[in-house]
Structure 1
Amino acid sequence: MRAFVPTGRTSPGVVREEVPEPRPRPDEALVKVEAYSVNRGETFQLEAPAPGWRPGKDVAGLVVRSAADGSGPEVGRRVVGHPPAAGWAEYAAVPTDALAVLPDSLPAVRAAALPLAGLTALRLLRTAGPVAGRRILLTGASGGVGHYFTELAAAAGAEVTAVTAAPERGHRLLELGAVQVVRDPADAEGAYAPDTPDTPYAPYAPDTPYAPSTPFDLVLESTGGTALPAALARLRRGGTLIWFGQAGRKPVTLDFFDFFKGPESATLRHFHYADSDTPYGEDLATLVRLVASGRLHPEIGRVADWAETDATLTDLRERRIRGNAVLTLS
């Protein structure tokens, strides 16, 4: 079968070659891949690939061999899956607890955009806890995770301010429920505290008589570098910052004396989407149900033939694609 393998170089990062067809374990189904999504984090992994590793964690397609242990979907079912690797190929072996069956109404292209970004957003929302009425600052919001999280959190009653370096990449976030899109965490104005408890919160305007408060109950930070301390400064006293990525690939320098100038008693937490007791398949089924019912909308900035995988990786690395990029197999 044909599959993409890493070169260890930036360009081309992958090449398509003939490789052996997967030999599934007893708890894995063999899926004929119809479409797969590529993620920016995978572009970083390709720079120093582990021996024998092949990329690919988001796939959608058809089960052509069911699991030998009798678990999971049977042959002929359309599925979306989240294998540990090797999904950029004609066939992929996927653990059955990382598969969800697709309804006829959900095309493979849309389903392929769900796994990594959708799972991250859904589990990040759970980690955040109840968000109704809370003000949230989300950095790195123009990728797949940002679009999913914004829609999910806004639907749950949160007031989301999204941070994205390019304003034109933020229009869709406003349509999905964000109340504000800014270029830098320091530009986020949030809400202002009224003089009396009975006055509702209102967006900031220069002539308002309200006294400013540190605006955000929760900060979700995914870019690193100077963005994290800038976002931390926008946190209210006793608020929480959840760090879930470093897309900017720059280390964070944090001066803890800054806490005395702003959010004293703040909590900093790390999040990784794989740290959950819920199987991927269960959460994928939730995402499929939300999309099928029109309550969640995958933001797909590019759909192309899988021959264009390497060019798509370059554009993804250079932030020229909004949301997810999906490749289809002819």
Structure 2
Amino acid sequence: MKAFIPTDSPRTTGPAVRLAEVAEPVQQSDQALIKVEAYSVNRGETFVLERPPVGWRPGKDVAGLVVQAAPDGSGPAVGCRVVAHPPALGWAEYVAVPTTALAPIPDHLTAATAAALPLAGLTALRLLRAAARHTGHLAGRRILLTGASGGVGHYVTELAAAAGARLTAVSASAERGARLLELGADQVVPTVAAAEGPFDLVLESTGGANLPLALDRLAPRGLLLWFGQASRQPVTLDFFSILNGPVSATIQQFSYADVDGPDGPDLATLVRLTADGQLHPELGTVRDWTRTAEVLDELRERRIRGNAVLTVS
């Protein structure tokens, strides 16, 4: 079968993949074999592609058709359309996925839309869940979201607004900011420095100079959840400055993979919200999978708003 693999000599200036013939997946007892119809590309994968692990192939967000059910009898039957979140290997014609990491999708939901859900949607859903554990609820809470223009930012904005939060989104693009307002953001500002606190919660994904600026805008006993470093710049914190900042602030690192239980139930929640019209995946581009390398470069350079989806022809 055909699949995208890292090139033999990855460039340090950008991602590099090539379409190649690879062995077909060998199912484990708890895995369904999926014929991939669409997959989503994440910016984090572009970073891994700069220095890929030996034997690794990218692909964490896929949607397609079950062509072989799991040998142990778990999961969906042959012919079921599903969205899945494998750990890797998804940029291919076929992929084997644990049945605990997939969810059925209804007929009216396109494969391209479903493929945009897993990584970004799971991150947003679990990020707000972690925030709610700290605050008790999100209704009425003031939230500052940095790096809001990507797929995660769009999902966070819509989910937070639906929960009754007052969200200030940071986006340097006026066009992207307008879309965030449509999705329910209370306010959009071009920089963290322009955000007027205090905020009960800060959801910080850019790192560099933005994290200390965002921390300064926390309310007393507020929480900063750090879930990314899109700027790729290290964070420097002045602890003397922190002592003069928000009282009893909490800084907590967040990983969407740090959960008790499988991905399937949360994927099913995202599918239900999308199918019911309560969640709207932002498809920044949908192209044929032969253009994957081109999309990777655009994604890494932040020229795509929302999710980038490739359809397997």
Aligning the two structures, in what range does the TM-score lie when normalised by the shorter sequence? Answer: over 0.9
Cross-structure match for 2:25 = 22
Amino acid at match of 1:3: A
How far, CA to CA, are the matches of 1:144 and 1:11 in structure 2?
A: 20
Cross-structure match for 1:132 = 139
How far, CA to CA, are the matches of 1:249 and 1:25 in structure 2?
A: 37
* Aligned partners of 2:139 and 2:164 also within 8 Å: yes
How far, CA to CA, are the matches of 1:11 and 1:236 in structure 2?
A: 39
SS in 1 for 2:257: coil
Instruction: Report the Cα offset of residue 11 of structure 1.
Output: 5.2
Cross-structure match for 1:204 = none
* Aligned partners of 2:15 and 2:50 also within 8 Å: no
Cross-structure match for 1:293 = 276
Rg: which structure is higher? 1
The answer to whether the aligner puts 1:160 opposite 2:163 as a matched pair is no
How far, CA to CA, are the matches of 2:255 and 2:286 in structure 1?
A: 27
How far, CA to CA, are the matches of 1:136 and 1:262 in structure 2?
A: 18
SS in 1 for 2:62: strand
How far, CA to CA, are the matches of 2:80 and 2:96 in structure 1?
A: 15
How far, CA to CA, are the matches of 1:70 and 1:53 in structure 2?
A: 28
SS in 1 for 2:155: helix
Instruction: Report the Cα offset of residue 164 of structure 1.
Output: 1.6
The match for 1:106 among 109, 114, 132 is 109
4+ aligned runs moved over 4 Å, structure 1: none
The answer to whether the aligner puts 1:119 opposite 2:122 as a matched pair is yes
The match for 1:228 among 211, 221, 224 is 211
Cross-structure match for 2:44 = 41
Amino acid at match of 2:199: F
How far, CA to CA, are the matches of 1:165 and 1:25 in structure 2?
A: 46
Question: Equivalent residues in 2 for 1:168-187 (5 A)?
Answer: 168-187=175-194
The answer to whether the aligner puts 1:64 opposite 2:67 as a matched pair is yes
Amino acid at match of 1:127: A
The match for 2:246 among 260, 263, 284 is 263
How far, CA to CA, are the matches of 2:290 and 2:73 in structure 1?
A: 35
* Aligned partners of 2:14 and 2:50 also within 8 Å: no
How far, CA to CA, are the matches of 2:46 and 2:114 in structure 1?
A: 21
Instruction: Report the Cα offset of residue 166 of structure 1.
Output: 2.3
SS in 1 for 2:100: helix
TM-score by length of 2: 0.96
What is the root-mean-square deviation of aligned Cα atoms in Å? 1.0
* Aligned partners of 2:15 and 2:47 also within 8 Å: no
How far, CA to CA, are the matches of 1:265 and 1:12 in structure 2?
A: 41
How far, CA to CA, are the matches of 1:12 and 1:253 in structure 2?
A: 28
* Aligned partners of 1:167 and 1:182 also within 8 Å: no
How far, CA to CA, are the matches of 1:144 and 1:224 in structure 2?
A: 17
How far, CA to CA, are the matches of 1:218 and 1:34 in structure 2?
A: 38
How big is each residue's C-alpha offset from its partner over 1:270-326, in whole Å with a ceiling of 9 and x where there is no partner?
100000013111100000000000000000100000011001000000000001000
How far, CA to CA, are the matches of 1:163 and 1:11 in structure 2?
A: 26
SS in 2 for 1:173: helix
How far, CA to CA, are the matches of 1:104 and 1:300 in structure 2?
A: 19
Cross-structure match for 1:2 = 2
SS in 2 for 1:68: coil
How far, CA to CA, are the matches of 1:104 and 1:278 in structure 2?
A: 27
How far, CA to CA, are the matches of 1:258 and 1:233 in structure 2?
A: 9
Query: Which runs of 5 or more structure 1 residues have no equivalent in the other structure?
Result: 190-213
How far, CA to CA, are the matches of 2:51 and 2:24 in structure 1?
A: 24
How far, CA to CA, are the matches of 1:253 and 1:222 in structure 2?
A: 15
Cross-structure match for 1:79 = 82
* Aligned partners of 1:185 and 1:234 also within 8 Å: no
Question: Equivalent residues in 2 for 1:48-59 (5 A)?
Answer: 48-59=51-62
How far, CA to CA, are the matches of 1:12 and 1:280 in structure 2?
A: 28
* Aligned partners of 2:15 and 2:49 also within 8 Å: no
How far, CA to CA, are the matches of 1:98 and 1:242 in structure 2?
A: 25
TM-score by length of 1: 0.91
- The sequence identity of aligned pairs, in percent, is 71
Instruction: Report the Cα offset of residue 261 of structure 1.
Output: 3.0
Cross-structure match for 1:144 = 151
Cross-structure match for 1:326 = 309
Question: Equivalent residues in 2 for 1:240-251 (5 A)?
Answer: 240-251=223-234
Instruction: Report the Cα offset of residue 105 of structure 1.
Output: 1.3
SS in 1 for 2:234: coil
Instruction: Report the Cα offset of residue 257 of structure 1.
Output: 1.5
Higher mean Cα deviation, 310-319 or 257-266?
257-266
The answer to whether the aligner puts 1:315 opposite 2:298 as a matched pair is yes
* Aligned partners of 1:233 and 1:262 also within 8 Å: yes
Instruction: Report the Cα offset of residue 168 of structure 1.
Output: 2.2
